[in-house]
Chains A and B, each alone.
Chain A
Amino acid sequence: MLGVLLMVVPLVGAVAIALSPSRAAKGIALVATLAGLGIAILAAIDFSDWGTGGWGLEYNLPLLPAMGISLALGADSVSMLLMLLTTLLMPLAILGSWTAVSDRLREYYGWLLLLSTAMIGVFLARDLLVFYICFEFTLVPMYFLIAIYGSTNRAWASLKFFIYTFLGSLFALAGFLYVAWANAEHAGAWSFAIPDLVHFASTGLTTGEQGWILLALMAGFAVKIPLFPVHTWLPLAHTEAPTAGSVLLAGVLLKLGTYGLFRFVLPMVPAAVVEWAPFMGVLAIIGILYAALICWVQTDVKKLVAYSSVSHLGFCVLGLLALNPLGLQGSVLYMINHGLSTGALFFLIGMMYERYHTRDMGTIGGLGSKMPVWSFFMVFFVLASVGLPGLNGFVSEFLCLLGTFAAGGTGAYPGVLGPWFAAAAALGMVFAAMYLLLMVGKIVFGSLREPSGVHSDLPADLNAREILVLVPLAIGCVVLGVQPDFVMHAIEGSIADTLASYPTAVTDATEILVGRGGMP
């Protein structure tokens, strides 16, 4: 029941906001999201399958038994973690918007709460249609958040965001429906239960079919991640979105794509993944380096951080494609860590924007002397993002790259990437230092530059509410940097399950190649 409650509480909050006066909106939203966080923590404590790969929070309400459709919820450790990340970011996003949004408050907080329901739904879904509906429904609140509360170019940005990701996921739907149909043909009855479909797809489909499914699913997930070259909606949407929108976009929505890869693509179509991993790996590496260099020449801070997400998520995808526990561990940790550190960077940029109404590094800079507390957090989260050991970003980046590097070997989990992929991607570490330090060098250090004639009711440096938003994220960064072990042990079982069919899939593919004389 806790799973249902997690999805229902924000819904109730949204309804309550709709029924109450607009000055109560943010209070209700905060209470609802805090309640959500409380329930999530309870659920995490109650969850007994940390480390084993089992499922908890299970709930099943048949909706259309004839078609095998039901409202099935459940979480394994990976879903649990991402759900915790979501419920942590939600109250922070609301606190972060406290003074930034002043009109149409009811709609704003209502959409945020609906977004929360949809995001949690994605992570908890155990039925393919529930997953897909939630996955698509995240677009609607985000569309309105950008279109109504965004900056100057918001109409175009929101439209592009919507259409682009929507079109992509239509292909994913086609892929899913094909699997469901093939399963129905095979089993004689329709089912949309994810475990059934995953099991069927990985064993009952030919390699050719798997290839097409992979293509369809990747059309949906790659846009969401976003993988080069289908990433161009992201810088635009991020730059135009209000702060809370950017935070949730970077913190959670991008992870829907990598989560899709983890939950569906990898276990469903192993043979095709083995075949296509090198190609997708190359795309990820191009994304890492290409986006990093683009970051380096930006003048708009927010666009810089937005492009940095494209670069960072490349590491995450690479870790998944390593097809070994090291890479997957790194990748799942990366999802969490990127949510914490990049989410925080967007908060910080929002706080600066609220005071100066500019994001242009040409007109603003040297805030270190004027906003020491803000600067402290800025430097801190930049370091987390740059992958300084001791903070969270390092652990995940290191494991992703080590996994990729080791994927050429022949241990228990042979892979299809290898040292060259890791070496090329590792250049991204140097580039990340280049653009992120350029950013802090301009906006934090140097002599003070401020746009003139800007008025804000906020104090010069951060107030207690803003510090309260950042502190939980900073604590998360330190804890996951120093003690990642407990998370890694918690997700071991789920990762082993996801990788279950890989050793054979890779060996088979290699044997075929050897048989053809394609590999020495």
Chain B
Amino acid sequence: MTPILTFIPKLSMSAPAVPVSDAIISPNLSWAGLILLLPLVSLVLCGLCAAMRVKSKLPAVITAASLAGAFVTSVFLYLNYEPPGEVIPLLDWMNLTWGEGRFESFTANFSLYIDSLSLLWIMFVTGLGTLITIYASEYMEPDLGKGYSRFFAGVSVFLFAMAALVLSDNLLMLYLGWEGVGFASYWLIGYYFERPAAVAAAKKAFIVNRIGDLGLALAIYLIWTTFGTVQYDELSTIFAAGSMNPEFEGWTTSAIPFLLMLAAFGKSAQLPLYVWLPDAMEGPTPVSALIHAATMVTAGIYLIARTYQFFLLEPVSLHVIAWVGGLTALLAATIGMAQHDIKRIMAYSTVSQLGYMFLGLGVLTTYGAAYHVFTHAFFKALLFLTCGAIMHGFAGQLDLRKISGLRHMKGWRITAWTMLIGCLALAGFPLTSGFFSKDAILAEAFVTQGPGFEILGWMAIFTAGLTAYYTFRVWFRVCAGPASFEPGDEQHDDHGGAFHPHAPRFAINMVLVLLAVGSLVAAVPYFMSNQADDRLVGGWVADMVHDSPARGGIPGFSETHAVHAIADSHEAAAHAGEAAHPTLFGMDPHAAMYWISGTVGIVGLLLAAWLHLWRRSAADAIKAWLYSQFWIAWLPRAMERKWYVDEFYHAVIRAPLWILGHIFYVFDRFIIDGVCVDGIARIPRGVARWLQPLQAGAVQSLAVVMAGGAAIILLLMALFMQFGWFGGQV
């Protein structure tokens, strides 16, 4: 056994009292509340549009304008930001006080906590939100006057909730955002509410997320009963001082990270709770891009980064995160390889990439995870939006076997080439943004010591190869090769004649180009020199993680703060003395990873080119051969059927509960109500018939019960008074 993260000691009670963040209360920054207020205004206006049956694009204009306003506000906030952090009170929510002590008040208000971590998130959330709204203004055109307002109202709700989640200064407001984005997701997945599959997918998303929310709720209870507060700045101070409630030391501090993890796995679609995300593709594509690829699903990573101090207290939780992330990445990639629906491939790819981010969190690189969140937001949103453009233009066609050679078709060139950029970034092609962010995680898996982390690292590299393969399988099938297509089944038969694909127009193309540029430029922050601390590596994103509780997981960084021991020993294990520094092929893991992952990516790409561009028949032959060999046929079949996870849940959880519900209902009606209640009720009735066989009506039995009851009571009273019953029982 290798030493298992032994460098993380339990928080010592005598740690020096230097807080991570001395958050400044800044009521004069309350204009930052606009980030929350603008989407709400937009929600109300979209609601009014819906009520007044507006038939123009007004709702889209309102939403885009207010989200742009929120983005501008975020950027201003960033420019005004000074470390270490600021608390901006907005509105009271819950304030209870029943004593003086720490455990005798409960405070959770609507106030913002601004540090670089929340700024990083809010800027890309509002920025992408604006772009995707502009895209959706064109994409949702067929629904003008029908669901158009409802759609943009949902987007506004989502942005509000996401902003609340990211900017909150306490765990309860985070919970509000957390459930709020889940609700927005429910709303938008179920947008086509007359389609049963959409309704079922929406419900599934909400319920699976609720299981995660349960973890978050329990974590909040546990954090409050252990630390007496749910506010980040107070928690940081407590961590700095090391003054926990001694009574709860032990199992609670160990349980908190696992409960938070459950929440994160639900929201960010990790094993075992990822099943809702692929189904969520029933929603309109802009929703898939915004919520189910770029922003909401990264909330789990945000949560863990935000509460990273709890995880550092319990090393095992980090091991679990790393392994769950790595396994999810691999599993989802294998499923993605076997799907034909391009949107579903992208969905599984999202699950897989989120797995990488969790792997990063687990191997102590919050910076790598955050950087991958950042780059992934651009290229995955881009990929989804190109899929959406294709779906929009080809009447809902998403089967990669039925469209080919898009780049040769008139009006589709922008879509095809921007998709290539997205694919290159996703595949981790050298020098793209995805290449740098993925490497930051992969290399760290070889640096950090942990149970089987090296195996995990190789597994992740293998997964990177699979990623390149399935990504380019899509591109070579859909965009390259000879031009041909079959339309989908959502034809609007208004012109009656042959189907003509309608190519995307200005709004969609503009957003695609902007996102493609974003996907490329997202590599630049990696090379920006670090401002926050000279010892940092990793550029701007590392800077942004630095001033937050997540800095305990920045590689190679150490400073005297509450968990200084952790960072110190991390540094000792990782970057101090060269002897202790793990190497890969005699190189620094970071340097080696450039070569390894670059090679793996190109191999995957070439394999895809061979099977899906140059020799498409070979791919079919291989597939047929695989299915014909009994000893291996189970593998592609299981991959295509998503490893039967849904079936497993149905058999193990849903069906038993359903049966239990029926058993309870029968029990309730026939045993509790039938035998017990009615059985007892029959006694006075029988007495009534015996006493008064005139009419066995309701009023009679009622009267008898009343008289009988009163008699019993009087008897009891008399007995009380006579003997003073019960008096001598103690």
A437: nearest chain-B partner, CB-CB: B203
- Verify A445–B218 contact, CB threshold 8 A: no
B222's partner among A326, A399, A405, A446 (CB-CB below 8 A) is A405
- Residues from chain B with a CB closer than 8 A to the CB of A463 are none
Pairwise interchain contact A419-B199, C-beta atoms closer than 8 A: no
**A290 close to chain B: CB less than 8 A:** yes
Across the interface, do A294 and B214 meet the contact criterion of CB distance under 8 Å? no
Q: Is the CB of B103 within 8 A of A388?
A: no
Shortest Cβ gap from A130 to chain B (Å): 18
Q: Is B577 an interface residue (CB 8 A)?
A: no
Given contacts A232-B668, A389-B179, A445-B194, contact A434 B207 (CB under 8 A): yes
Residues of B within 8 A of A399 (CB): 94
On chain B, the residues within 8 Å of A211 by CB distance are 729
Is B249's CB within 8 Å of the partner chain A?
A: no
In the complex, the chain A residue whose C-beta lies closest to that of B209 is A433
Which residues of A sit under 8 angstroms from B673, Cβ to Cβ?
A: 232, 236
Q: A368-B193, A405-B222, A437-B203 are in contact. Are A173 and B183 (CB under 8 A)?
A: no
The answer to whether the Cβ of A38 comes within 8 Å of any Cβ in the partner chain is no
CA distance A413 to B727 in the complex (A): 29
Residue pair A485, B92 in contact (C-beta under 8 Å): yes
Q: Which range contains the number of A residues in contact with the other chain?
A: 35 or more
- A427 CA / B225 CA spacing, docked (Å): 19
Asked whether any CB of chain B lies closer than 8 Å to the CB of A195, the reply is no
Question: Of residues 123 to 170 in A, which have CB atoms within 8 Å of B's CB atoms?
Answer: 155, 159-160, 162-164, 166-167, 170
Say whether chain B's binding surface is mostly helix, strand, loop, or mixed. Answer: helix
The answer to whether residues A212 and B194 also contact, given A166-B705, A297-B661, A485-B93 and a CB cut-off of 8 A, is no
Q: Are B210 and A405 in contact (CB under 8 A)?
A: no
Q: Is A426 an interface residue (CB 8 A)?
A: yes
Which of A178, A383, A411 has the most C-beta atoms of chain B within 10 angstroms of its own C-beta? A411
Q: Are the C-beta atoms of B222 and A296 separated by less than 8 Å? A: no
Number of residues from B at the complex interface, CB < 8 A = 74
User: Mask for B192-225, Cβ within 8 A of A = 1, else 0?
Assistant: 0110100110110011001101100110111011
A240 to chain B, nearest CB (A): 14
CB-CB under 8 A from A437, the residues of chain B are 186, 203, 206-207
- Which A residues lie within 8 Å of B104 (CB)? 411-412
Name the B residues within 8 Å of A366 (CB-CB).
Answer: 194
Contact B726 A208 (CB under 8 A): yes
The answer to whether B458 has its CB under 8 Å from any CB of chain A is: no
**B103 x A446 contact (CB < 8 A):** no
- CB of A297 within 8 A of CB of B709, answer no
Q: Does A398 contact B (CB under 8 A)?
A: yes
Cβ–Cβ contact A296 & B657, under 8 A: yes
Q: Is B222 touching A409 in the complex (CB atoms < 8 A)?
A: no
With A412-B99, A434-B207, A485-B95: A167-B175 Cβ-Cβ less than 8 Å: no
Q: How far is the CA of A173 from the CA of B714 in the complex (A)?
A: 10
Flag if A492 contacts B98 (CB, 8 Å).
Answer: yes
Residue B677 at the A interface, CB < 8 A?
A: yes
Whether B221 and A409, one on each chain, are in contact in the complex, defined by CB atoms closer than 8 angstroms, is no
Write the B693-730 contact mask toward A (1 if CB under 8 angstroms, else 0). 00000100110011001101100110011000011111
> Would you call A484 and B94 a contact (CB within 8 A)?
yes
Interface residues of A (CB under 8 A from B): 155, 159-160, 162-164, 166-167, 170, 173-174, 177-178, 181, 206-209, 211-212, 229, 232-233, 236, 290, 293-294, 296-298, 325-326, 329, 366, 368-369, 383, 388-390, 394-395, 398-399, 401-402, 405-406, 408-413, 419, 422-423, 426-427, 429-430, 433-434, 437-438, 441, 444-448, 482-485, 488-489, 492, 496
Instruction: List residues of B whose CB falls within 8 A of some A CB.
Output: 91-96, 98-99, 101, 103-104, 106, 172, 175-176, 179-180, 183, 186, 190, 193-194, 196, 199-200, 202-203, 206-207, 210-211, 213-214, 217-218, 220-222, 224-225, 247-248, 657-658, 660-662, 664-665, 668-669, 672-673, 676-677, 681, 698, 701-702, 705-706, 709-710, 712-713, 716-717, 720-721, 726-730
Q: 11 additional contacts, CB 8 Å, given A233-B677, A419-B222, A484-B93?
A: A174-B716, A206-B727, A206-B729, A232-B668, A236-B673, A401-B221, A406-B103, A409-B248, A437-B186, A437-B207, A441-B199
16 contacts across the A-B interface (CB closer than 8 A) = A167-B705, A170-B709, A177-B713, A206-B727, A206-B729, A229-B672, A232-B669, A232-B673, A326-B106, A369-B194, A402-B221, A406-B221, A437-B186, A444-B193, A447-B196, A483-B93
